[in-house]
A = this chain, B = another copy of it.
Amino acid sequence: MGGGGVLRVANLTQECSMVRLEDARPLIAAAEKKAQELGQPMNIAVADEGGNLVAHVRMDGAWLGSIDISIKKAFTSRAFDITTQELAKNAQPGGQFYGIHASNDGRVMIFAGGIPLKKNGKVVGAVGVSEGSGDQNHADATAGASAF
């Protein structure tokens, strides 16, 4: 993988698209597997460095209303480089970020299920999971993120 200038540019390009579709697939598969273990069908979404959707699946029987939520949880976790579970703590009435859910044209979700994806310590995307309890969502998103 070493080598001269041209090769390095090629490598750079590849490494710059941080969350590629081939990265998202195993991540989603891991989250699906965890969801099956939990006996809870889920919506699972993956966003890239720009907060834009890379892939989404709705498992059979998962809530329709959670399609949007899973995609927005992924956006939120990348947009603020934080789990939505952690953000939730600061977004309650009286908290320092209370009202943040009204920003970004309604794309900010403030309950558990969104987890940032990191490479070399830098956030390069996020996974968002929606369905069931907050703890289930977080566990499922964690399973996905671990596969990244």
A interface residues, Cβ below 8 angstroms from B: 8-9, 12-13, 15-18, 20-22, 24, 48-61, 63-69, 72, 76, 78-81, 88, 91-94, 96-106, 108-112, 120, 122, 133-135
Contacts and interface: CB of A to CB of B under 8 A. Distances in A.
B102 A92 contact: no
Nearest to A130: B103
Contacts of A97: 111, 134
A21 B110 contact: no
Given A21-B59, A100-B69, A105-B105, A64 B88 contact: no
A76 to B, nearest CB: 7
Given A63-B80, A110-B98, A134-B97, A105 B68 contact: yes
B60 A20 contact: yes
B54 A57 contact: yes
Nearest to A4: B2
Given A72-B103, A109-B102, A56 B53 contact: yes
A66 B76 CA distance: 11
B65 A108 contact: yes
A50 B53 contact: no
Contacts of A112: 96
Contact of A104 (B17, B68, B134): B68
